[in-house]
Amino acid sequence: MSTETAVGALLRARYRVLELVGEGGSGAVYKAEDLRLGGRLSAIKEIRPDPYATTAQLEQSHTQFRREAMTLAQLDHPNLPKVYDFFVDGGRSYLVMDFVAGSDLRQIVDQARARGQFLPEDEVGNWLGQLLDALEYLHSQTPPVIHRDIKPANIKLTSQGRIKLVDFGLVKPLDPDDPRTITVVRGVGSLPYTPLEQYGGGSDHTDPRSDIYAVGATLYHLLTGKVPPTAQQRFLEPGLLPPPRSLNPDIPPLLEQAILAALAMHPDKRPADVAAFRALLHAPQVTPTAAREAVWQQALRDNVALLALIIILLALAVLATSRALPMP
């Protein structure tokens, strides 16, 4: 079996392949025209079978693919391309969705960096709001849809200023042993944007906090112009991640705090979901004076019993001293 679908190939007697858009170890994405819809442009994601899978495993994968593709085809959100067809042909599974024209955010941040500029924080904030809307929608599905490959290159900006979260990057085989989340869009991801728990390549459990990490890494890149070190590098060398404001002082402190919280190594240290991440972005600003006062107040609360004991001992000491003093 060839590893690449040829340009000009006709899939399902309907989709004419125009070009290869992206390719990973176990799949690819093609730009194609839909001959039944007047040449409408489509993006076709091809998932290639595991060459070492047994016949039973392949059948199980195809069954799960169909079930999950039906779920994806029901998704409808302005910041997601619409999935409108799926099929299995020649042992390979295919998802057909809208083709999104325009530059991706990786190209846009690279262009700004080449000019010696940072992307405006308010513009990035607008993109972030749309991205979080899409993720909140995906995560609210039953079962949740975890994207697992959020990165600037997978976020397209249309001519209308709308972003679309696409999946033109690395694709991996389906994981039929983990029914807890939709797996059609699951993969190892791109390492600078991938949390440590996702390094298992699909066998480890992931949840919305995995996508939150990728959002934090994406924001870090967009606002600093620098790709963050991978989670593996940070695990081996703690402190390797420079604070965003050390690279771009114009980043608001509150936004920096939210980015660093999203990039926490352990999932339990990250915002639990999109709503929690939004709350961090809009938390009241804490001044240094207020922070010091809060520390003292917490210390007092934590040690109230000890303080009471000290006061009692001081009172007893004063009383004993007064009794020991000679009368005038």
Q: Residue 153 contacts by C-beta under 8 Å, 6 or more apart in sequence?
A: 104, 105, 106, 107, 168, 169, 190
Task: Report the pLDDT value the prediction gives residue 180, as an integer from 0 to 100.
Answer: 45
| pLDDT score of 36 | 94
Q: Inform me whether the pLDDT recorded for 282 exceeds 70.
A: yes
Q: State residue 185's pLDDT score.
A: 44
Of all residues in the chain, the percent with pLDDT exceeding 90 is: 56
| pLDDT for residue 120 | 96
How far CA 257 is from CA of 97, 253, 292, in Å, comes to 36, 6, 18
Residues with active-site annotation? 149
Residue 58 has pLDDT above 80, yes or no: yes
CA distance 3 to 185: 20
- Structure-token match 């849809």, residue found: 145
> Is pLDDT above 80 for 293?
no
Question: What pLDDT is attached to residue 327?
Answer: 55
Q: Please give the model's pTM, rounded to 2 decimal places.
A: 0.78
**Alpha-carbon span 176 to 50, nearest angstrom:** 12
Question: Tokens at residue 76, please?
Answer: 């409808």
Q: Over range 240-247, report the average pLDDT.
A: 97
pLDDT computed for residue 188 by the predictor:
54
167 or 270, greater pLDDT: 270
- Give pLDDT, residue 80: 95
User: Confidence class of residue 110 from pLDDT cuts 50, 70 and 90?
Assistant: very high
* pLDDT at residue 241 is higher than 60: yes
21-47 per-position pLDDT tens digit: 888 767 888 999 999 999 899 999 998
* pLDDT score at 179: 44
* Residue with the two structure tokens 């994806």: 72
Across the chain, what does the average pLDDT equal? 84
Provide the pLDDT confidence category of residue 177 given band limits of 50, 70 and 90.
very low
Rounded-to-integer distance, Cα 81 and Cα 185, Å = 13
H and E: helices and strands count for the chain: 10, 9
Task: Please indicate whether residue 244 or residue 49 has the higher confidence score (pLDDT).
Answer: 244
